[in-house]
Structure 1
Amino acid sequence: MIVTITGASGFIGTNLIAFLQQKGYIINSLSLKHQNWKNIFPLSGDAIIHLAGKAHDTENTSDPEEYFIVNTDLTIELFNEFLRSESRDFFYFSSVKAVVDSIEGVLDENISPNPLTPYGKSKLKAERYILDADVPVGKRVFIIRPCMVHGPGNKGNLNLLYKIVEKGLPWPLAAFENRRSFLSIDNLSFIIARMLDYKNISSGIYHLADDKSLSTNELIQTVNLALDKKPKLWRLSKKVIENIAGLGDRFRLPLNSERLKKLTESYVVSNLKIKSALGIEKLPLSAEEGLVKTIKSFRKEK
């Protein structure tokens, strides 16, 4: 099977390509940065996986219009080329942030989207164009909404937790009660490979997440487990922590309001629809196993 992938040099792209190549897939990398990419890289093969996009800027310094140029307009151009091509499948990697920025309860595919950021709005606008299109018979179109993806080579907010635990510092946010979904790159790659192989999976929107959500305190305990350390959980006043995060906004400290929100908010994502479509009860890696693998990779990268 021949698969064309955009955003091939990114974290998800490099890991997904390695996974698919091990299974015998032939990969074509398509760079959308070339102005004449349609002529330079003619689309061919069985499937197109569109990973390229402008990521959410947590510093809020990006021009909002850039999100729509990259995440919406370029996606529409690529999708229209797919419709004219002989490729069978189109995977658009959107995000759960195209749905809502915060959620009470569990997020599934039935929710009515209401994103607040330019990032989420640009992703949703592309989704709606794709879902409203007249897709030829024989083609499948998937909207993939992953939650926070992690794995070796991608540190993100997990790196902050790693540094705190590695240095033997206590975790001062234990007073915040929450639950949050994560997605290991191994589970993501497994799901995409199965969707490529299983021809009976219907087009539609699919949320991707590990089987179990974790609280931040459980996450800290998992990081300690990966580093063979005992967890140090401090239940400091929430108000004090929020004030410190406010200072982080002004002076660019490691802990700012955006990062505090990411570390302590609840954001639980259901993966029941995709598992039902794949006919499986659980994903290859548990949430804890995937996180331990990621955390241990940080030490090797030093």
Structure 2
Amino acid sequence: MILLDWGRTAGHAPGVAAIFGTGLIGGNAVGALQRNLSHARLRHMPWDWSLDTSGQAQQIVQAARNVLEGQGDAVFTTIWAAGRSGFGTDVQGMQDEFAALESVVDLALDIGADLPINRRCYIHLSSAGGLFEGQTCCGTDTMPKPLRPYGEYKLAQEAYIRDCIALGRRHILRPSSVYGYAPGARRGLFAVLIAKALQGQTATIMGALGTQRDYVFADDIGRFIADLVHDHASDPTSAGLSTSLLVSGRPATIYEVIGMVRDSSGRPLFVEIDPRPENARHNTFLRSALPSGFRPTGLQEGIALTVRAVSGERSQGKLI
């Protein structure tokens, strides 16, 4: 995990953010926070999913309190982007993730205990794909109908965060199918397709070519998270709750994506289709579902940017 702190300006209070999960979304959020906040500095702290994280938690709590101490108007934000589950994760795997979330919430409550509740903030990354799998034209009023343990537990996580009023201002974010590339992060469908095209290898598709999904660029989510943190530091007056769908509102088929990867990479892309895909349901969202301030990058542009990032890794010999 990463502890990030920043100084006071005329526009915002000083503060600390604890970011759990520094993969594709969390890593982009850290980068955007560094660009958004004055004199931001970060420290990598040990934290893992082991059963006993008490020693790690104590180090994190003490480090955060050391920065917050003596700054009466400071703010504290926790960002949960550490979910490592996927559509196929079983009940035990989701229970393990929930236990990790509980430990992070306990840690956040410990750090923020001496702060007024309006100076605490919690940002939780959920999953629109897991909650609305198989549903189309979803909007802000669409009721989630999870089909797997993955979606059921993501919904349970949201309920847990909603009920924890002591966390302060709570933002529950529901990104749809996230794409992009970050060194060291778990490689998603788009990054795999691009890597295979650049290497002249065959990619296996675990879905149907006609499956419609809503794809959202990870950089856009990172910027949205950074804006939420900055807004809280600028105006820590509310301890309310919000739930947002982070989607593009422009569905695309896997067939379209393959064509865009070919065009952007300038390479042929050979694919092998799973004859019995387990993840081939449509999942689309309305453009009206986008929250204020969220500006999704167009799919063609986002894929081109991802191709550039993956190509950069390959040129350095880091792409496997």
1:179 paired to 2:209: no
| Aligned mate of 2:223, from 167, 171, 190 | 190
| Number of the residue aligned with 2:242 | 204
Contact 1:178 1:216 in 2 (8 A): yes
Hey, what does 1:221 align to over in structure 2?
259
1:5 and 1:298 map into 2 onto residues whose CA distance is 28
2:304 maps to what in 1? 292
Instruction: Note the C-alpha offset of 1:110.
Output: 2.2
Q: In structure 2, what is the equivalent of residue 249 of structure 1?
A: none
Question: Which residue in the other structure is 1:251 paired with?
Answer: none
Alpha-carbon distance change, 59 to 95 in structure 1, aligned in 2, over 3 angstroms: closer
Residues 1:177 and 1:105: Cα distance change in structure 2 (over 3 Å): same
> How far apart, CA to CA, are the structure 2 residues paired with 1:172 and 1:114?
25
Matched with 2:82 is 52
The 1:68–1:197 alpha-carbon spacing in structure 2 relative to 1, beyond 3 Å, is: closer
Deviations 1:174-216 (A, max 9, x none): 9842321112122112211222333499631111123532221
Q: Tell me, yes or no, if structure 1 residue 70 matches structure 2 residue 100.
A: yes
Distance 1:227 1:63, change over 3 A: closer
8 A contact 2:181–2:309 mirrored in 1: yes
Question: Comparing 164-173 with 180-189, which one deviates more in the overlay?
Answer: 164-173
Question: Identity of counterpart residues, as a percentage?
Answer: 19
**Count of residue correspondences:** 272
Please report how far the alpha carbon of residue 298 of structure 1 lies from its aligned counterpart in structure 2 after TM superposition. Answer: 2.1
SS in 2 for 1:91: strand
Counterpart AA for 2:77: A
Report what 2:157 is aligned to: 126
Q: Secondary structure at the match of 2:291?
A: helix
Counterparts of 1:102-181 in structure 2, within 5 Å, are 102-135=133-166, 139-153=168-182, 154=185, 155-163=187-195, 165-166=197-198, 167=200, 176-181=209-214
Q: 1:20-47 deviations in whole A, cap 9, x for unaligned?
A: 1122353556654332444322255432
Matched, 1:93 2:125: yes
Aligned partner of 2:281 among 253, 265, 269: 265
C-alpha displacement at 1:160, in angstroms?
Answer: 3.8
SS of residue paired to 2:221: helix
Query: Secondary structure at 1:14's aligned position in 2?
Result: helix
SS for the counterpart of 2:252 is coil
Letter paired with 1:225: D
Return the letter of the residue paired with 2:309.
S
In 1: Cα distance, 2:205 partner to 2:126 partner: 33
Deviation at 1:143, TM superposition (A): 0.6
DSSP 3-state at the match of 1:268: coil
Tell me if the contact between 1:67 and 1:119 (Cα under 8 Å) persists in the aligned partners: no
1:242-280 residue CA offsets vs partner (Å, 9 max, x unmatched): 54x5xxxxxxxxxxx34xx2xx5322234644433x3x7
Counterparts in 2 of 1:7 and 1:179: CA distance versus 1, 3 Å: same
8 Å CA contact 1:15–1:185 kept in 2: the answer is yes
TM-score scaled by length of structure 1? 0.73
Provide Cα deviations, 1:54-93, integer angstroms capped at 9, x if missing partner.
322747596453233224x335424544763524321011
Q: Which has the higher strand share?
A: 2
Unmatched tracts of structure 1, length 5 or more: 246-256
The alpha carbon displacement at 1:121 in A equals 2.6
User: Cα–Cα, structure 1 residues 220 and 85, in superposed 2: closer, same or farther, change >3 Å?
Assistant: farther
Q: Distance in 1 between matches of 2:165 and 2:228?
A: 21
One-letter amino acid matched to 1:223: V
Question: Which residue number in structure 2 is paired with residue 19 of structure 1?
Answer: 32
Query: Would the aligned equivalents of 1:174 and 1:217 in 2 still touch at CA under 8 Å?
Result: no
Q: 2:197, 2:139 → 1: CA distance?
A: 33
2:5 maps to what in 1?
A: none
The answer (yes or no) to whether the contact 2:202–2:269 under 8 Å persists in 1 is no
SS at match of 1:17: helix
Tell me how large the CA RMSD over aligned residues is: 3.6
Structure 1 residues 181 and 161, CA, compared in 2 at 3 Å: closer, same or farther?
Answer: same
CA distance in 2, matches of 1:123, 1:183: 19
CA distance in 2, matches of 1:49, 1:172: 32
